[in-house]
Structure 1
Amino acid sequence: MNSPLKDLLRFFVASVLIMLAAAALNFTVDPLQIFRASRQFTAVYSPDSRLQNAGLIRSQTFDTLFMGTSLAIHFRQSDIDRILGVKSLKLSMTGSSSREQVFVLDAAMARKPRRVIWEVDDWVFHDTPDIDANTYLPADLYRGGPKGIASYLFSGEMARVSVWIAAQSIPAFKPILKSLTSETLLKFPISDVDDINTLQAGEDVGARYNAARAMAAYRYITDPARRKYLLDDTDYDMKVRVFERDAIGLIKSHPDVTFDIYLPPYSILQWLALRETSPETLTSVDEFSAYLCRRLMDFPNVRLFDFRAIKEVTHDLNNYSDVIHHSPDIDLKVLQWLAQGKYRVDRARPTEYLDQLKAQVEAYRLVSEGQDALTDDFGQGGASR
Structure 2
Amino acid sequence: MKLKQFFFKIILATLIALLPFSMVNYIVDPYQFYRQPGFYKPVYFNDQRYQNPGLARTQDYSLAIIGTSMTDNFLLSYVNNALNRKIVKLSMMGASMYEQKLMANVVIRTQKADTIIYELNYFSFRGGSERVTQTGKGFPYYMYQGGIMSHFKYLCNPETLLRSYQILLKHYKGIRHYTMVEDLEKYNTWYYNSKFAMENAIKDWNLAQNDLKRADPEEFTWKYIKDNTDKNLINLIKSNPDTEFILFYPPFSILIHKFLDNRDLFHKEIKLKQYIFENTRNLENVKIYDFQDLEEITHNLDNYRDMTHYSIEINEYIIDSIAKGQHIVNDENIEQKLENLITQVAEYKVES
- Please give the TM-score of this superposition, normalised by the length of structure 1: 0.81
For residues 256 and 15 of structure 1, do their structure 2 counterparts lie closer, same or farther at Cα, with a shift above 3 Å needed?
Answer: closer
- Matched with 1:210 is 197
Measured after TM superposition, the shift of residue 356 of structure 1 is 0.9
Equivalent-residue separation in structure 2 for 1:131 and 1:306 (angstroms): 25
Equivalent-residue separation in structure 2 for 1:121 and 1:13 (angstroms): 47
Moved more, 302-311 or 127-136: 127-136
- Matched with 1:49 is 48
Query: Is 1:89 paired with 2:88?
Result: yes
- Is residue 115–residue 260 contact of structure 1 (8 Å, CA) maintained in 2? yes
Measured after TM superposition, the shift of residue 195 of structure 1 is 1.6
For residues 309 and 13 of structure 1, do their structure 2 counterparts lie closer, same or farther at Cα, with a shift above 3 Å needed?
Answer: closer
Query: Is 1:128 paired with 2:114?
Result: no
Partner amino acid for 1:240?
K
- Matched with 1:155 is 157
Secondary structure at 2:265 match in 1? helix
- Please give the TM-score of this superposition, normalised by the length of structure 2: 0.88
One of 196, 201, 215 as aligned partner of 2:187: 196
- Matched with 2:4 is none
% of aligned pairs identical? 26
Partner amino acid for 2:170?
Q
- Matched with 2:170 is 168
Equivalent-residue separation in structure 2 for 1:64 and 1:71 (angstroms): 18
Secondary structure at 1:262 match in 2? strand
- Is residue 53–residue 144 contact of structure 2 (8 Å, CA) maintained in 1? yes
For residues 241 and 163 of structure 1, do their structure 2 counterparts lie closer, same or farther at Cα, with a shift above 3 Å needed?
Answer: closer
Secondary structure at 2:289 match in 1? strand
- Is residue 97–residue 128 contact of structure 1 (8 Å, CA) maintained in 2? no
Structure 1: 5+ residue stretches without partners: 1-11, 373-385
Query: Is 1:293 paired with 2:277?
Result: yes
- Matched with 1:226 is 211
Query: Is 1:331 paired with 2:318?
Result: no
Equivalent-residue separation in structure 2 for 1:230 and 1:110 (angstroms): 34
For residues 226 and 28 of structure 1, do their structure 2 counterparts lie closer, same or farther at Cα, with a shift above 3 Å needed?
Answer: closer
| RMSD over aligned Cα atoms | 2.4
Query: Is 1:317 paired with 2:304?
Result: no
Secondary structure at 1:169 match in 2? helix
Partner amino acid for 2:148?
P
For residues 85 and 190 of structure 1, do their structure 2 counterparts lie closer, same or farther at Cα, with a shift above 3 Å needed?
Answer: same
Secondary structure at 1:42 match in 2? coil
Secondary structure at 2:45 match in 1? coil
- Is residue 120–residue 263 contact of structure 1 (8 Å, CA) maintained in 2? yes
Partner amino acid for 1:216?
K
Equivalent-residue separation in structure 2 for 1:92 and 1:253 (angstroms): 22
Equivalent-residue separation in structure 2 for 1:340 and 1:129 (angstroms): 34
For residues 229 and 29 of structure 1, do their structure 2 counterparts lie closer, same or farther at Cα, with a shift above 3 Å needed?
Answer: closer
User: 1:241-256, aligned counterparts within 5 Å?
Assistant: 241-256=227-242
Partner amino acid for 2:35?
R
Query: Is 1:119 paired with 2:103?
Result: no
Measured after TM superposition, the shift of residue 212 of structure 1 is 0.4
- Matched with 1:266 is 252
Per-residue CA deviation, residues 189-239 of structure 1 (Å, 9 max, x unaligned), is: 111222210137xx444xx211001001111112xx335644524422331
Secondary structure at 2:144 match in 1? helix
Per-residue CA deviation, residues 330-360 of structure 1 (Å, 9 max, x unaligned), is: 1111111111111111233323312111111
For residues 161 and 234 of structure 1, do their structure 2 counterparts lie closer, same or farther at Cα, with a shift above 3 Å needed?
Answer: closer
Moved more, 263-272 or 68-77: 68-77
Equivalent-residue separation in structure 1 for 2:130 and 2:316 (angstroms): 35
Per-residue CA deviation, residues 284-332 of structure 1 (Å, 9 max, x unaligned), is: 2222222223322121111111100111110010111111111111111
Structure 2: 5+ residue stretches without partners: 1-10
For residues 111 and 17 of structure 1, do their structure 2 counterparts lie closer, same or farther at Cα, with a shift above 3 Å needed?
Answer: closer
Per-residue CA deviation, residues 163-205 of structure 1 (Å, 9 max, x unaligned), is: 33234334xx33xx2xx432xxxx4x111222210137xx444
Measured after TM superposition, the shift of residue 24 of structure 1 is 1.3
Measured after TM superposition, the shift of residue 118 of structure 1 is 0.7
Equivalent-residue separation in structure 1 for 2:133 and 2:189 (angstroms): 29
User: 1:305-384, aligned counterparts within 5 Å?
Assistant: 305-366=289-350, 371-372=351-352
Equivalent-residue separation in structure 2 for 1:346 and 1:210 (angstroms): 33
Equivalent-residue separation in structure 2 for 1:302 and 1:13 (angstroms): 50
- Is residue 122–residue 289 contact of structure 1 (8 Å, CA) maintained in 2? no
| Structure number with bigger Rg | 1
- Is residue 266–residue 324 contact of structure 1 (8 Å, CA) maintained in 2? yes
- Matched with 2:33 is 34
One of 231, 235, 248 as aligned partner of 2:221: 235
Secondary structure at 2:204 match in 1? helix
- Is residue 42–residue 165 contact of structure 1 (8 Å, CA) maintained in 2? no
Moved more, 290-299 or 63-72: 290-299
Measured after TM superposition, the shift of residue 15 of structure 1 is 7.7
